[in-house]
A and B are shown apart, each in its own frame.
Chain A
Amino acid sequence: MKYVLLFCGDADDAAAFAALTPDELRARYAEVGAWFAEHRAKIGGSNQLQGPETATSVRFGPGGPPVVTDGPYLEGKEAIGGYAEVDVADLDEALRMARTWPGRGTVEIRPVVTRG
């Protein structure tokens, strides 16, 4: 089954990340790199996203043209920091991957819609 792992975080996670020393930051990126290497065979597309302060939203209302606004769709403190598309046997395997994610924060697992 295909899933997308959404790497999310809130303000506390962001603060914890910002507080990392350069050495800790290097170590963290190395762990994340190792995680991707370990699961390479299962991972399709994946990207880290720039911060929510760079987001722009196009919102379709009930009538009239869509409205363009500054800021992310998700309101409040939570933001999606990146994603990875994975192809695994079932939810348990996706959960095993998510549990070992070194990036901290919260990992949301969403099955992908398949047609046919």
Chain B
Amino acid sequence: MAGTRDRRDPPRRDEGLTPAPDDRITVAQDSLAAAFRDESSRLTASVTRILGGDFAAAEEVVQDALLAAWRQWPADGVPDQPAAWLRTVARRRAIDVLRRDLRYRDRLAATPFPAGPAAGPVADPAAGSAAGPAGDGEDDRLMLIFTCCHPALATEAQVALTLRTVCGLSTAEIARAFLVSEAAIIQRLTRARRKIAAAGIPYRVPDGDELAQRLTGVLAVIYLLFNEGYLTSAGDRPQRRDLTGDAEWLAGLLARLMPAEPEVAGLVALIRLHRARAAARFDDAGRLVLLRYQDRSRWRHADIAAATDLLVRAGQQRRPGPYQLQAAIVACHAEAPSWQDTDWTQILLLYDALLEHLPSAVVRLHRTIALGQVMGPEKALSEADTLAPLLDRYHLLHATRAEFLRALGRHDEARRADERALGLTGNPAERALLEQRLA
């Protein structure tokens, strides 16, 4: 599945962040973790397995190994195989933990002690993606993802744990991404790890019927991450981490680990299609530009073609689902030369199919836009009006109604609807757009 190969962003540095003396270690670990993002989740996963799913202990062991690298590498030079070096150190420390704790005696007997400097072949992340799933530690990583996204944890805890443990973000980075205090994130993580241990949340990938259900939860966490990043990527918050890159990386990892799941590929395609158009979403002044007015020459058309190709191949499995269908809708837009020359009939059909999988009022609202193009604004407005009782507090209902009202020449009502929308959104880019319309 070459189309799912990740194109990862280069590791990010925390520019402009001057660490207080106490933060130095954290920052060093952060950059190390960023450089070894792929490796770090592999590391955490295998250590968590050695320790029988003890997340808190695994976290400490991995931090220890990273800290050892931070101390030793500047003096001794970076080893030839840094990933293998880290893994050996982490494994040794994990085994030390097992030795110290009598409860782990049985587990220790079953864990082979690492013999050489490398605990196994060093997987090059890029080569690994071409080779497909499996390989050293990959099953562990899958277990890690499924445990982090266990439905017995609150959604916000699932998100924080996944970002910390699988993506290797620091608590400070997670706090910045969600605009909450670092202390709150640390508390959220501590509670989640405690619950995993105390409530007996297992460290494994579910099978049978359970897998489909649990996979839905995992995909929801990744999609939530993506949306969080996508909606807040307005230009006025440069200090905020762009989570869409993390979401793409995570979805790509999952697709590599579960190549037989078309919905995973669908989510990858959906995220890539959105990201391929990201550059055109804002004008030079940082204002949000609606799809209809976007400069389509600024889209990354090669990425769009690759994502569409991935989607088509996923579709060949004939197991459609909400992510494949949403991606197909976005692909229709992405391949259209203009707003007018868009295959609206096809989009309307895709929305009808999507509603069968995801019968939500928000999906019905999005559908009204295609309906307006195919059947005219009057029909679309009356459909949007039927959603009013469900979506009265949702700003996009009112902004969408305003568009239909304007198309019908009912300008006063359109204005009132825009005002209503403005009163309901706090997103600066969306506010600016509405204010511009009302000016």
Contacts and interface: CB of A to CB of B under 8 A. Distances in A.
Interface residues of B, number: 10
A90 B198 contact: no
Contacts of B210: 92, 96
B235 interface: no
Interface string B183-215: 000000000000000111110101000100000
A89 B202 contact: yes
A104 to B, nearest CB: 20
* Interface size, A (range): 10 to 19
State the main secondary structure of chain B at its contact with A.
Answer: loop
Nearest to B197: A111
A42 to B, nearest CB: 14
B202 A92 contact: yes
B198 A95 contact: no
Contacts of B152: 91, 95
Interface of A: 1, 3, 89-92, 94-96, 109, 111
Contacts of A111: 198-200
B150 to A, nearest CB: 8
Interface centre among A3, A91, A111, by most B CB within 10 Å? A91
Contacts of B200: 1, 3, 90-91, 94, 111
A25 B204 CA distance: 39
Interface in B237-265: none
Nearest to B150: A91
A91 B206 CA distance: 12
Contacts of A1: 200
Nearest to A94: B200
Interface of B: 150, 152, 198-202, 204, 206, 210
Nearest to A1: B200
Contacts of A91: 150, 152, 199-202
A94 B152 CA distance: 12
A3 B152 CA distance: 14
Interface centre among B200, B204, B210, by most A CB within 10 Å? B200
Nearest to A93: B202
Given A92-B206, A111-B200, 8 more contacts: A1-B200, A3-B200, A90-B201, A91-B152, A91-B201, A91-B202, A94-B200, A109-B199
A95 B152 CA distance: 9
A94 B201 CA distance: 10
Contacts of A95: 152
B258 to A, nearest CB: 19
Interface centre among A89, A92, A109, A111, by most B CB within 10 Å? A92
Contacts of B204: 92
Contact of B202 (A3, A90, A109): A90
A90 B202 CA distance: 6
Contacts of A109: 199
A111 B152 CA distance: 13
Contacts of A3: 200
23 contacts: A1-B200, A3-B200, A89-B202, A90-B200, A90-B201, A90-B202, A91-B150, A91-B152, A91-B199, A91-B200, A91-B201, A91-B202, A92-B202, A92-B204, A92-B206, A92-B210, A94-B200, A95-B152, A96-B210, A109-B199, A111-B198, A111-B199, A111-B200
Nearest to B53: A90
A90 B319 CA distance: 31
Query: Which 4 residue pairs spanning A and B have beta carbons closest together?
Result: A90-B202, A1-B200, A90-B200, A91-B200
A85 B210 CA distance: 23
B340 to A, nearest CB: 50
Contacts of B202: 89-92
A92 B200 CA distance: 8
B148 to A, nearest CB: 14
Nearest to A3: B200
A115 to B, nearest CB: 13
B48 to A, nearest CB: 15
A95 B217 CA distance: 15
A48 to B, nearest CB: 25
A88 B150 CA distance: 18
Nearest to A88: B200
Contacts of B201: 90-92
A111 B200 CA distance: 8
Nearest to B151: A95
A90 B152 CA distance: 12
A90 B53 CA distance: 12
Nearest to B202: A90
A109 B198 CA distance: 12
